[in-house]
């Protein structure tokens, strides 16, 4: 470990595995250098690796407004943007990096490179965002209709429910490329009808997420058995589903399914409370247990509300629409659920 003025350098040793991407909890940069030591340090001048970095998004909307520029289409926008980066941004950053590299003896190994040119950026939260790309770093262009690139938003991953994988990427594309709230509501109407009246089972109807801090809310099966099925106040919904899963395993004496513990990636589904325990949601890990077959009935109206409509409305909130009313009737039983 070497401590410098503004940062620390730590050797991770020789790594044999090829790595494409690294995620970290905080701000880190990784530099892959030559394995040949030079007086106990790695010889950066013979580096064969690359700097793995955090991307920075530069917003130039205010610059364009201040200059009073009118860009009539995406091609003109991309052309102006590339010229501004080459003549203003790049020289400014190169100057700063030259000084930084000289101060720390890095031999100009830190570089700045333009990646995508983005017309719009749609940020839900943290690493959940979508980009309307008009040109990438390789020179590929999408001037007529920007290419929508999605990161983090659960619509394409295998952990997303079927409707998200099959329909919601297209809905997000439409939002990103200028559709109105009314147009999105019209597109969602037949999707909603298919979802509510469909026959997809627990394997395709769920909300995925981690079950954090279960132990803090666990009343214990013996208490539940004596006092009736209940939860502590303010128990998170995913934790309720996990606790229901664990209590039911014990109540039925099921030994072939493991209890859910803290921090597990699980799936949760809202169910009708017409089951033995009166629960209105159940959580499981990865594959829905065959031991639970026939015990629960999916509450498709509530799953639409929680797993689809709420997500769409979060997107609508980003672009300033407010909620999109899709007329989902939850019913009294759902409103009274815990």
User: pLDDT (tens digit, 9 = 90+) per residue, 169-195?
Assistant: 888 888 877 788 888 888 888 999 989
**15: exposed, middle or buried (Cβ count in 10 Å: 0-12, 13-18, 19+):** exposed
Single residue among 83, 118, 153 that ends a domain in this structure:
153
Same domain? For 42 and 121 the reply is no
Single residue among 134, 153, 172 that ends a domain in this structure:
153
Reported as a single tens digit per residue, the pLDDT across 198-235 is: 889 999 999 888 888 888 888 888 888 777 778 888 88
Which residue in the block uniquely carries the two structure tokens 């089972």? 201
Reported as a single tens digit per residue, the pLDDT across 58-97 is: 788 888 888 898 888 889 999 999 999 889 988 888 888 7
Residue 180 lies in a domain: no
Same domain? For 84 and 6 the reply is no
Same domain? For 46 and 93 the reply is no
Same domain? For 28 and 50 the reply is yes
Same domain? For 14 and 82 the reply is no
Residue 17 lies in a domain: yes
Contact 141, 78 (CB under 8 A): yes
What's residue 30's pLDDT?
A: 54
Domain that holds residue 254: 207-297
Residue 226 lies in a domain: yes
What's residue 172's pLDDT?
A: 83
CATH number at residue 211: 3.40.1820.10
Same domain? For 83 and 149 the reply is yes
- 3-class SS of residue 191: helix
- 3-class SS of residue 210: strand
Please, which residues have CB within 8 angstroms of residue 212's CB and are 6 or more apart in sequence?
236, 238, 239, 262, 263
Same domain? For 24 and 87 the reply is no
Contact 279, 229 (CB under 8 A): yes
Tokens coding 60: 């130039």
Average pLDDT score over residue span 104-129: 74
Residue 255 lies in a domain: yes
Neighbours of 206 (CB within 10 A): 27
In angstroms, the first-to-last Cα distance of the chain is: 52
Q: Are strands 264-270 and 281-284 parallel, antiparallel or unpaired?
A: antiparallel
Mean pLDDT over each residue of the chain, to the nearest integer: 78
Domains identified in the chain, total number: 3
């Amino acid at each position: 470990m070497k401590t410098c003025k503004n940062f620390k350098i730590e050797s991770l040793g020789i790594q044999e595995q090829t790595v494409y991407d690294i995620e970290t909890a905080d701000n880190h940069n990784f530099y892959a250098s030559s394995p040949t030591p030079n007086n106990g340090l790695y010889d950066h001048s013979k580096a064969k690796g690359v700097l793995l970095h955090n991307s920075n998004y530069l917003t130039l909307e205010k610059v364009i407004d201040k200059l009073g520029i009118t860009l009539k289409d995406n091609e003109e926008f991309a052309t102006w943007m590339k010229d501004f980066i080459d003549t203003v941004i790049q020289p400014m950053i190169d100057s700063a990096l030259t000084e930084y590299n000289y101060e720390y003896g890095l031999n100009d190994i830190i570089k700045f490179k333009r990646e995508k040119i983005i017309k719009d950026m749609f940020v839900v939260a943290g690493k959940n965002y979508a980009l309307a790309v008009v040109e990438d770093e390789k020179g590929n262009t999408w001037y007529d209709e920007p290419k929508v690139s999605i990161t983090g938003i659960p619509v394409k991953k295998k952990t997303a429910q079927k409707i998200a994988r099959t329909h919601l990427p297209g809905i997000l594309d439409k939002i990103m490329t200028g559709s109105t709230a009314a147009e999105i509501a019209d597109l969602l109407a037949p999707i909603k009808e298919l979802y509510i009246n469909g026959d997809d089972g627990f394997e395709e109807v769920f909300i995925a997420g981690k079950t954090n801090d279960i132990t803090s809310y666990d009343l214990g099966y013996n208490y539940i058995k004596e006092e009736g099925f209940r939860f502590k106040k303010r128990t998170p919904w995913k934790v309720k589903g996990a606790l229901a899963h664990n209590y039911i395993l014990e109540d039925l004496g099921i030994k072939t399914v493991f209890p859910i513990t803290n921090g597990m990636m699980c799936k949760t589904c809202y169910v009708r409370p017409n089951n033995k325990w009166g629960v209105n949601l159940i959580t499981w890990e990865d594959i829905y247990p065959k031991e639970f077959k026939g015990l629960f009935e999916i509450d498709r109206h509530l799953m639409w509300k929680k797993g689809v409509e709420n997500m769409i409305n979060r997107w609508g909130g980003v672009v300033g629409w407010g909620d999109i009313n899709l007329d989902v009737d939850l019913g009294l039983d759902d409103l009274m659920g815990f």
